[in-house]
Amino acid sequence: MSVVELNNKGDAKCKLSEIPLLPREHRLFHKNCVYIVTGGLTGLGFETVKFIALRGGGHIVILSRRSPTPEMKQEIDSVKKQSGAVIEALQCDVSVSEQVEEVMGIIRQRFPSCPVKGVFHSAVVLRDGIIENLSRTLYEEVMKPKINGALNLHHATKHCNLEYFVCYSSVASFLGNASQSNYAAANSFLDIFCHYRRHLGLAAQSINWGALNIGLLLNKDHIRKILETRGLMLLELNEIVQSLQDCLLLNKPQQLICKFNFKNLGSNIFSQNVSLGLRLASLVEEKLGNSKEPEAIFERPNQSPSIFVRSVLSETLEITPEEVTEGTHLSALGMDSMLAMTLQNLFSAKRAVTIPLIKFLDPNSTVGTLVRVLNQPAKV
């Protein structure tokens, strides 16, 4: 696992292990203080609620657009009993300034003697799609919770003497993602905004999380396999909790928490983004050794394009080759953006052919569409 401090350009500066940690007995949270967690009813948000409660945080307010389900209420009650913390869930769309101001007033009324000491901004909306298919509406849906939410929380808590203003960003903000340009842009804002708050003398940390085995990705073996081919390994819950604690103790403006398979990363993401590979060159060299990796050896086209395409699809989707014909629509095989990027990488690595993502995601594309691309003469 690689835990890296980033500067305001997103470049790797040094490993966290080279930065002295605060003493482990340093108390992260206090019993008589309030800690706000946005998006705290699911995934990383709820794990953060548990993290705070089990480490002494006495009062936790969850902000979410939705009310907790009966199952989630039971989970919250379980954390209350285990930790003794007061946990309240308030309905609030943090992208709407009036709602944030209103809920801050409610918090002051309910906990008049408890100052707000921390904000953990975990709100997120995903609307995937390649950039050609993304409308302004789809950009705004993804950006509002993160960007408007961060700004509204910033203005609503400027008068508070915060110890934490933590924004949960993503590795996508600097690795990029062809089907999540809206998500990458929103997270890039959080990164820069935390540096801006630091320049104002205010608390701020942006944590660029990698792939996590919680929430939407929990035990999704198919997605795990796709991510691993791109060089991204899933972080398990114990790694997430330990990394969050390290980040809070170190208190740097921007830190990356991600587990990489550097060989796969080099042959996929770095091969398609040379400048990114150069920016992280020192980290990659340390993990792989100073000796240069042998150049990629492309699979020779000893199979016909038709057999090759069908075999790649059958292996990736774990189906028999007989289930794939040239007339099979890719959409019928469950094609999505993650699978499209995986297949794009495999075709590039094995045949040195880069097929545009739109070819995989077009609802009219068939297996035969990919075969025809491979049959086209190489451009010199």
Tell whether 182 is covered by a domain: yes
- State the Cα–Cα distance between residues 335 and 370, nearest whole angstrom: 13
Only one residue has tokens 């740097």, namely: 252
**pLDDT classification of 179: cutoffs 50, 70, 90:** low
Asked whether residue 44 falls in the same domain as residue 183, the answer is yes
Residue scoring higher pLDDT (193 or 19): 193
Distance of CA 9 to the CA centre of its chain: 18
100 and 166 in a single domain? The answer is yes
The confidence score (pLDDT) of residue 85 equals 96
- Whether residues 71 and 152 share a domain: the answer is yes
Rg (CA), the chain: 23
Predicted pLDDT at 104: 97
Q: What is the pLDDT of residues 203-217, one digit of tens each?
A: 999 999 988 888 766
In a domain, 380, yes or no: no
Please tell me whether residues 209 and 358 are part of one structural domain: no
**Per-residue pLDDT tens over the stretch 79-110:** 999 999 999 999 999 999 999 999 999 999 99
Q: Which of 191, 225, 260 is the last residue of a domain?
A: 260
370 is a domain residue: yes
How many separate domains does the chain show? 2
Is residue 151 domain-resident?
yes
Q: Are residues 105 and 25 in the same domain?
A: yes
pLDDT at res. 274: 56
Q: Within a domain: residue 205?
A: yes
> CB neighbours (10 Å) of residue 226?
22
Q: State the residue for tokens 């400048």.
A: 275
For residues 349-353, average pLDDT: 74
pLDDT, one tens digit per residue, over 45-86 is 999 999 999 999 999 999 999 999 999 999 999 999 999 999
| Residue 270: predicted pLDDT | 59
In a domain, 269, yes or no: no
Domain boundary (225, 240, 260) is at 260
Predicted confidence (pLDDT) at residue 187 exceeds the cutoff of 70: yes
pLDDT recorded at residue 51 = 97
Q: 260, 287, 320 — which closes off a domain? A: 260
pLDDT at site 333: 84
pLDDT band at 20 (very low <50, low <70, confident <90, very high): very low
Q: How confident is the model at residue 266, as a pLDDT? A: 62
- The more confidently predicted of residues 276 and 53 is 53
Q: Does 95 fall in a domain?
A: yes
Regarding whether 152 and 253 lie in a shared domain, the answer is: yes
* DSSP code string of 42-109: SHHHHHHHHHHHTTT--EEEEEESSPPPHHHHHHHHHHHHHH--EEEEEE--TTSHHHHHHHHHHHHH
Q: What is the mean pLDDT of residues 244-268?
A: 83
The pLDDT, as a whole number, for residue 291 is 42
Determine the pLDDT at residue 243.
Answer: 94
Residue pLDDT, tens place only, 113-145: 999 999 999 987 766 666 666 677 777 788 898
Instruction: Please give the share of the chain, as a percent, with pLDDT higher than 90.
Output: 42
- Regarding whether 87 and 223 lie in a shared domain, the answer is yes
Q: Both 229 and 312 in a single domain?
A: no
pLDDT, residue 58, reads: 95
Contact between 30 and 270 under an 8 Å Cβ cutoff? The reply is no
- Between residues 334 and 46, the one the model is more confident about: 46
35, pLDDT greater than 70: yes
**pTM, to two decimals:** 0.72
pLDDT of residue 347: 81
Instruction: Provide the pLDDT for residue 299.
Output: 44
Residue 231: inside a domain, yes or no?
Answer: yes
> Is it the case that residue 15 has pLDDT exceeding 50?
no
148 and 246 in one domain? Answer: yes
**Residue-wise pLDDT tens digits, 191-244:** 999 999 999 999 999 999 988 888 766 666 766 777 777 777 888 999 999 999
The answer on 204 and 99 residing in a single domain is: yes
Q: What is the CATH number of the domain that holds 157?
A: 3.40.50.720
Full domain range(s) for residue 50: 2-260
* 339: CATH: 1.10.1200.10
Q: Is the pLDDT of residue 18 over 50?
A: no
User: Higher pLDDT residue, 88 or 281?
Assistant: 88
Token duo for residue 150: 């961060």
Average pLDDT, the chain: 81
Verify that 248 and 325 share a domain, yes or no: no
Are 62 and 178 members of one domain? yes
Phi, psi of 167 (to 5 degrees): -105, 125
Tokens linked to 14: 């040094």
CB atoms within 10 A of CB 338: 19
Q: Which pLDDT score, from 0 to 100, does residue 129 have?
A: 60
User: Which pLDDT score is estimated for 300?
Assistant: 42
